[in-house]
């Protein structure tokens, strides 16, 4: 250590040059590094889709879903498999384990499992497809409006999409509300029947007339000539003029008995409305953790300004089109980081004011150099590791500000004290480095150890908050290096001896004398008083509510609505129109954007999206502010309850933290659908009766009607017909037979052959539909089938292979999830549920438990490091126990602080407590270190304790004041996410620092008596 102190003073120029270069690098990095609002979550969620046309849910469950679940559950990286099986399709959501960060390899193993399962599928089931980017969040969403024809809007949106692909860092660009496209051939059935034409014959002839067939090549001299026969349709007119051979051998153009047009796909899948206007959206997703979203937004707007006026040049039909911004994340990133950067600068100013108020000009100037220096160096190192600047990283810097100058304060005070004792400036600096390099190293190490659980925690919550321990730990390590190198160099140049360190009053030393006197004269009473305060604070915990994460600070709400299973998209659209009109009449509503048939884009990282379903819709509402959010939610709930009782409506604010479907969620398991339905209704009734529950619902579903046609195989065979002929006759009357692709444009368009009525074909007339037999001519469907109406399950849901239904609800703003669950659990325990029913809890309870478990799993590593540094410093279990005593002393401030500020206990206050563990032990370390120094000099224990308290009171109070000062902008910020954490640290640190000056010396007086007597 002697050599290190001498080396620091010898290499002043090198040390200062490196420090300045790193600081400049950090300043440049702060202005140029990539930016986004929130951290990126690894792609741990994926959706597998398996179409199975014509199959009911039970058949798909048996023939497809079971095989997929069994194979995927054997993949070691998979945590949860959830499936929803509906008519014609199976949807399987796969979630990877929290510890998985190499998601690409994990998804590759899932795909291999899918391939194995597909070998067991029936031939009619399509191959499964996997979307492993479910959580990709939109950077910008644009709306193309101005025309009633959705095809025109889609063409313009596709052109814009193509041009925007030239921008850097694009991950994907998709269209929202794309109507799709198909070429429809609608047959006049009466004419076709008179001419003896069957749908099968037409489909066969149309397919033969529309093929891509190579003509081969010829060699002409030394040149190869490609022969290209025109064997496919190139225009609609060509299709209309296609000759169709009649059974008698005559030819007739298709257009004489069928209408041919190009239009939106049928049935319609989803629609998008921008402020009441039909629109097609452009959803732009940038590469996460690799994009400066602020700069990307500027580039995008520049490109759109150039592109929009040119739309008319590309197509005259685009003349009246508009391109508007629906969601523009770059603006929110800029606003959020600007506000937090302001808080960062304000925290620096407040800390500097505190320093100059308590330390005087020279000492303050020396210490204040560390503040911008370490902050800039921290940013430089953070940027070198390829990290992105987002709100969590800036929050970490703000928390670190007040802590990172603690080491500088202690060493500067020590240097000044030695100068006052008559040492030269070089001697004072060198002796202070030698004296404090161990204690400050131990103090810094213990603080770093406290953040290790946060650093190592896995899962969504750990991923969301990881930048906090990264920035704080980097700042602390750099502050220790700066305190041992830069600070002594500057102090040796600028500090001068003076009669007293204090320049603005002697009250800290007076307080130190009082604390030292009580600790030595009445140690037992002081210790008991501290224990009593700790007990009272824990008693007050009953008045602290629990909340996992608060709501977001956005003037946006989401109104999700669901209609009964089987509802067609046009009816869902009519309900969306009614809700949108009601919202537009609300004085607190500024804009409404509607998505019908799906949930729209993932415009915010926390918004859960539902799969495409014609009975679902989502309205995203922009309001007058956070209070307006609550008023609009209350009004639209009341409106829906009075006017639309058949609609399941869920209106809620955006939330923070890992996404969850609902704060209250109860899962009901049973393999038999009847007991499952009974139990689900019982749980649903119990949840609805709990105060604080709103928008209660379950996903059991009432089922959907279906008409089953039992084909009489023997009769059909007599007519020379197969079952497939009968099924194709039905398909041709409804959605239509696909007879090929129209490839005249940029993308192939399916050609559908159907009846003139299509999906609106009268159900009562199906019995008279003709099925054409080559031998017997048209045969009525009623002669070939027996039909009956039946009720089939709307959807079958599994979780990890077990059938379940989920009952969930939102919360009244005046309640938290623990209050509801505390009232719900006893009720559910008293229910007489059917035998074999199992209950499990999800929602905030599950997510909070997982987050806490992730921290508890890694907590032993942090505790081990903390004890390592303490034992390395003191080599005494008694002293380590005394240091650890400061942790419960912090509770004296944390719990009353949360109660007084009306802040719920959630993950943010928990982060604050973790930070406190590392901060509060520092005061005890430096205090006990001075006591040991006095004892080594032969001082009696009482004198050593009094001297240590008097000498360390001022640095302890000053470091506490700077830490609290740095957190004040965060505590009084207008956000909901960070004030609870800031108040937990402020109140806990204030109480712990004060009690440390009394309780720790008193404990030393009691516990170190034997050592002092032995010495």
235-282: pLDDT as tens digits: 889 889 988 888 778 888 988 888 999 989 888 889 999 999 999 999
CB 136 within 8 A of CB 602: yes
Which residues have a Cβ under 8 Å from the Cβ of 271 and sit 6 or more positions away? 150, 177, 179, 278, 569, 573, 594, 595, 596, 597
Report the pLDDT value the prediction gives residue 1014, as an integer from 0 to 100.
Answer: 54
> What pLDDT, in 10s, does the model give residues 50-79?
999 888 899 999 999 999 999 999 999 999
Report the pLDDT value the prediction gives residue 737, as an integer from 0 to 100.
Answer: 83
CA separation, residue 676 to residues 681, 800, 807, 957 (Å) = 9, 16, 12, 62
Q: What is the distance of C-alpha 133 from the center of its chain?
A: 13
CATH number of 551-655: 3.30.70.1430
Report the pLDDT value the prediction gives residue 177, as an integer from 0 to 100.
Answer: 93
CB 898 within 8 A of CB 544: yes
What average pLDDT is seen over the chain? 88
> Is the pLDDT reported for residue 508 higher than 80?
no
Domain spans in the chain, listed from the N-terminal domain onward = 1-32+365-497, 198-256+704-792, 551-655
Question: What is the Cα–Cα distance from 275 to 271, expressed in whole angstroms?
Answer: 13
> For residue 596, what are its two tokens?
């019908």
- DSSP secondary structure letters along 662-716: -SEEEEEE-SSHHHHHHHHHHHHHHHHTSTTEEEEEES----EEEEEEEE-HHHH
> Is the pLDDT reported for residue 503 higher than 60?
no
> What pLDDT, in 10s, does the model give residues 409-458?
889 988 988 888 888 889 898 888 988 888 888 889 988 998 998 899 88
Percent of the chain residues topping a pLDDT of 70: 98
- Which of 949 and 776 is assigned the larger pLDDT? 949
Report the pLDDT value the prediction gives residue 168, as an integer from 0 to 100.
Answer: 93
CATH number of 1-32+365-497: 1.20.1640.10
Which residues have a Cβ under 8 Å from the Cβ of 94 and sit 6 or more positions away? 45, 46, 47, 48, 72, 78, 80, 81, 110
CB 633 within 8 A of CB 651: yes
Question: What is the Cα–Cα distance from 916 to 988, expressed in whole angstroms?
Answer: 7
Question: What is the Cα–Cα distance from 810 to 695, expressed in whole angstroms?
Answer: 6
Asked if 1-32+365-497 and 551-655 have one fold, the answer is no
Which residue in 62, 306, 60 sits closest to 166, CA to CA? 306
CATH number of 198-256+704-792: 3.30.2090.10
> Is the pLDDT reported for residue 552 higher than 60?
yes
The pLDDT-based confidence of 504 (bands split at 50, 70, 90) is very low
Whether the ω angle into residue 267 lies within 30 degrees of 0, i.e. cis, is yes
Query: Which residue spans within 848-904 are E strands per DSSP?
Result: none
């Amino acid at each position: 250590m002697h050599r290190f102190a001498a080396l620091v003073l010898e290499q002043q120029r090198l040390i200062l040059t490196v420090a300045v270069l790193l600081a400049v690098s950090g300043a440049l990095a702060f202005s140029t590094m990539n930016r986004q609002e929130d951290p990126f979550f690894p792609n741990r969620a994926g959706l597998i889709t398996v179409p199975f046309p014509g199959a009911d849910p039970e058949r798909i469950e048996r023939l497809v879903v079971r095989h997929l679940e069994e194979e995927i559950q054997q993949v070691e990286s998979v945590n949860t498999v959830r499936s929803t099986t509906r008519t014609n399709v199976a949807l399987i959501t796969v979630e990877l384990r929290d510890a998985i960060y190499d998601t690409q390899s994990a998804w590759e193993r899932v795909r291999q499992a899918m391939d194995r399962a597909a070998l067991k599928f029936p031939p009619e089931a399509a191959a499964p497809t996997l979307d492993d980017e479910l959580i990709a969040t939109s950077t910008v969403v644009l709306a193309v409006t101005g025309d009633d024809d959705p095809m025109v809007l889609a063409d313009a949106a596709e052109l814009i999409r193509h041009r925007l692909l030239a921008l850097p860092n694009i991950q994907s660009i998709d269209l929202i509300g794309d109507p799709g496209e198909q070429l429809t051939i609608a047959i006049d059935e009466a004419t076709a029947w008179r001419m003896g034409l069957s749908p099968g014959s037409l489909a066969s002839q149309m397919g033969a007339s529309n093929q891509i067939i190579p003509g081969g090549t010829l060699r002409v001299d030394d040149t190869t000539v490609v022969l290209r026969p025109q064997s496919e349709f190139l225009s609609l007119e060509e299709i209309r003029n296609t000759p169709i051979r009649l059974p008698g051998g005559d030819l007739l153009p298709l257009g004489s008995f069928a209408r041919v047009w190009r239009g939106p796909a049928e049935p319609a899948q989803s629609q998008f409305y921008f402020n009441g206007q039909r629109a097609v959206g452009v959803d732009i997703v940038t590469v996460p953790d690799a994009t400066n979203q602020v700069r990307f937004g500027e580039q995008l707007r520049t490109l759109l300004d150039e592109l929009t006026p040119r739309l008319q040049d590309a197509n005259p039909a685009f003349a009246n089109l508009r391109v508007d911004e629906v969601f523009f994340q770059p603006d929110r990133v800029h606003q959020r980081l600007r506000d937090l950067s302001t808080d960062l600068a304000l925290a620096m100013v407040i800390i500097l004011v505190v320093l100059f108020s308590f330390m005087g000009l020279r000492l303050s100037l020396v210490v204040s150099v560390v503040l911008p220096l370490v902050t800039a160096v921290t940013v430089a190192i953070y940027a070198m590791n390829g990290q992105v600047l987002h709100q969590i990283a800036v929050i970490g810097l703000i928390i670190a500000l007040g802590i990172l100058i603690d080491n500088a304060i202690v060493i500067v005070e020590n240097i000044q004290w030695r100068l006052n004792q008559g040492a030269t400036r070089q001697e004072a600096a060198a002796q202070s480095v030698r004296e404090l390099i161990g204690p400050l190293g131990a103090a810094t190490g213990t603080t770093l150890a406290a953040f290790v659980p946060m650093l190592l925690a896995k899962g969504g919550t750990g991923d969301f908050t990881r930048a906090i321990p990264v920035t704080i730990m980097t700042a602390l390590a750099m502050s220790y290096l700066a305190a041992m190198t830069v600070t002594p160099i500057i102090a040796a140049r600028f500090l001068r001896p003076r009669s007293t360190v204090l320049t603005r009053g002697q009250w800290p030393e007076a307080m130190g004398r009082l604390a030292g006197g009580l600790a030595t004269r009445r140690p037992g009473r002081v210790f008991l008083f501290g224990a009593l305060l700790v007990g009272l604070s824990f008693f007050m915990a009953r008045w602290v509510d629990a909340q996992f994460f608060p709501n977001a600070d956005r003037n946006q709400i989401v109104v999700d609505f669901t209609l009964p299973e089987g509802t067609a998209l046009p009816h869902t659209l009519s309900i969306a129109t009614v809700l949108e009109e009601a919202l537009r009449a609300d004085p607190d509503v500024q804009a409404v954007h509607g998505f019908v048939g799906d949930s729209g884009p993932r415009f915010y990282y926390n918004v859960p999206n539902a799969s495409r379903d014609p009975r679902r819709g989502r309205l995203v509402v922009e309001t007058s502010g956070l209070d307006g959010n609550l008023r609009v939610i209350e009004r639209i709930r009341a409106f829906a309850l009075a006017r639309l009782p058949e609609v399941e409506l869920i209106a809620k604010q955006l939330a923070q933290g890992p996404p969850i479907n609902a704060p209250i969620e109860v899962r009901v398991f049973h393999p038999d659908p009847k007991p499952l339905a009974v139990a689900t209704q019982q749980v649903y009734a119990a949840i609805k009766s709990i105060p604080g529950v709103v928008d209660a619902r379950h996903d059991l579903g009432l089922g959907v009607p279906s008409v089953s046609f039992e084909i009489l195989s023997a009769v059909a065979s007599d007519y020379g017909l197969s079952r497939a002929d009968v099924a194709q006759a039905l398909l041709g009357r409804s959605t239509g037979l696909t007879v090929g692709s129209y490839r005249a444009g940029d993308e192939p368009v399916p050609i559908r052959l159907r009846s003139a009525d299509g999906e609106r074909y009268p159900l009562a007339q199906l019995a008279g539909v003709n099925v054409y037999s080559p031998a017997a001519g048209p045969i009525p469907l009623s002669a070939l089938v027996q039909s009956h109406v039946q009720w089939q399950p709307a959807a079958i849901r599994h979780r990890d292979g077990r059938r379940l239904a989920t009952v969930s609800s939102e919360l009244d703003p005046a309640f938290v999830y623990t209050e509801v669950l505390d009232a719900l659990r006893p009720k559910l325990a008293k229910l007489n549920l059917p035998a074999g029913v199992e209950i499990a809890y999800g929602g905030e309870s599950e997510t909070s438990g997982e987050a806490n478990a992730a921290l508890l799993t890694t907590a032993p590593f942090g505790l081990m490091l903390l004890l390592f540094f303490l034992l390395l410093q003191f080599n005494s279990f008694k002293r380590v126990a005394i240091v650890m005593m400061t942790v419960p002393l912090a509770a004296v401030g944390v719990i009353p602080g949360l109660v007084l500020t009306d802040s719920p206990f959630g993950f943010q206050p928990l982060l604050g407590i973790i930070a406190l563990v590392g901060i509060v032990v520092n005061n005890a370390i430096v205090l006990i270190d001075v006591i040991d120094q006095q004892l080594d000099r032969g001082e009696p224990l009482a004198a050593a304790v009094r001297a240590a308290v008097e000498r360390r009171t001022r640095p302890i109070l000053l470091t506490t004041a700077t830490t609290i000062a740095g957190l004040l902008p965060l505590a009084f910020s207008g956000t909901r996410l960070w004030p609870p954490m800031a108040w937990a640290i402020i109140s806990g640190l204030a109480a712990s620092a004060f009690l440390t000056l009394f309780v720790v010396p008193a404990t030393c007086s009691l516990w170190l008596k034997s050592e002092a007597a032995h010495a």
